[in-house]
Chains A and B, each alone.
Chain A
Amino acid sequence: MDDFADALAGSLIGVDEDLEREFEARLSESSSLAFRVAFSVVRQRQDAEDVAQEAFAKAYRKFRQLRDRNRFRSWLVRMTWRLALNHQRSDRRRARRKTAHAHEPSTKTAAETPASRDRAAEIWSAIDALPDKLRVVIILAGIEGHDIREIAALLRLPEGTVKSRLFLARGRLREHLKWT
């Protein structure tokens, strides 16, 4: 019985090797996307990496169940988005991170000035004020210059819906930021 189980498990591992190679390719091409989606929600580099890593681990566990492998990026984006929101809503963890990063120049670059930091904070605040449906659309439009068709494919929504949400999101941001 044990031998039989070992043989079956061995053949499964053989199948798993192909899956692992495929997943490795997906990881290389989608790691930046997952990280940026997570970063757009949690705003901390370390937290964003943790969330993206968690999303990849979850995707890896369920990769076998994904029938259409071409939808991996869309699947990963939605998974990362949900995980990032859960992470953000966990007040206790966020408070712990805040104290840990209190004296750390987390996302600052050499070119950043106090004025640009204020402007960034203002934009993030306006983005946070958007409903989730509009927020994810405007974020994906800002990542890697995705167009409406690509955003629609990532979110598995009709292009018309994406277009109207993008229009609404931009309008609300302009209104919030008092930009013309």
Chain B
Amino acid sequence: MDLIDREIQRLLAVEPSPEFQARVRSRLAREPARDARRSRSLFLAAGAIAATIVAIVMLARSNSTLINQPQTLPQSSGQSLLEPTPAAASPDSAALARRSPLVHRRTKSPAVPKLSSRPVDHSSARRRATAPAAATVSAAASTDRAAEPEVLVSVGEAQALRRFLRNVGQGRVELSAAVLPPSPEDFSELVDVHPLVPITI
């Protein structure tokens, strides 16, 4: 050990005052009370959070159960107007639920609805709703489509679409022009370009 080490040892040969440890102990004695309080409040907070989570889960589960349960729809005239299916003819609530669009949406995985081949006119639907015979015919036709949501198309639109497809099939309508990109001449004939007149204020 050289002189420097000895000098440093001499400089650091200091002891804390006799009451130092007592002071530290009294300082530490104030710590546990705060710790116990903190742990108690921590447990209370954890319990409250756990209770909240359980309540949220229970609420979510009860909501999903409600959605999955068969929905009893009231047999009002408005319902039969919108859905002139066997539901109108049969008062059975389970049958109603099976044909309910909400239930179909949950049971069928594809999200894209299929276009119904049955054209529906709201005015004619209203008329048919009053006629029980028409409702029974409609019920027979819709049994195979009961699992899918229906897209309602007006009679006029459906007729126009059929006519258009028939004309395309028979070659009366030429669609090749619609596929090709437009040429500049198409626009030059339609648009007149005039030179800009300077604006003076």
Contacts and interface: CB of A to CB of B under 8 A. Distances in A.
Nearest to A60: B28
Interface residues of B, number: 29
Interface string B88-109: 0000000000000000000000
A142 B16 contact: no
B24 A27 contact: yes
A4 B43 contact: yes
Contacts of A139: 8, 12
Contacts of A28: 21
Contacts of A145: 9
Interface of A is mostly: helix
Contacts of A45: 14, 16-17
Nearest to A173: B4
A153 interface: no
Contacts of A35: 14-16, 20
B178 to A, nearest CB: 73
Interface residues of A, number: 47
Interface of B: 2-5, 7-9, 11-12, 14-17, 20-21, 23-25, 27-28, 31-32, 35-36, 39-40, 43-44, 47
Contacts of B43: 4-5, 8-9
B21 A31 contact: yes
A61 B32 CA distance: 9
Nearest to B7: A123
9 contacts: A2-B44, A8-B39, A27-B21, A31-B20, A45-B14, A48-B14, A49-B23, A52-B24, A139-B12
A177 to B, nearest CB: 7
Interface stretch (A12-20, A65-73, A77-85, A90-98): A12-20
B8 A32 contact: no
Given A5-B47, A142-B5, A56 B28 contact: yes
B19 to A, nearest CB: 9
A28 B11 CA distance: 22
A20 B27 CA distance: 13
B28 A57 contact: yes
A6 B16 contact: no
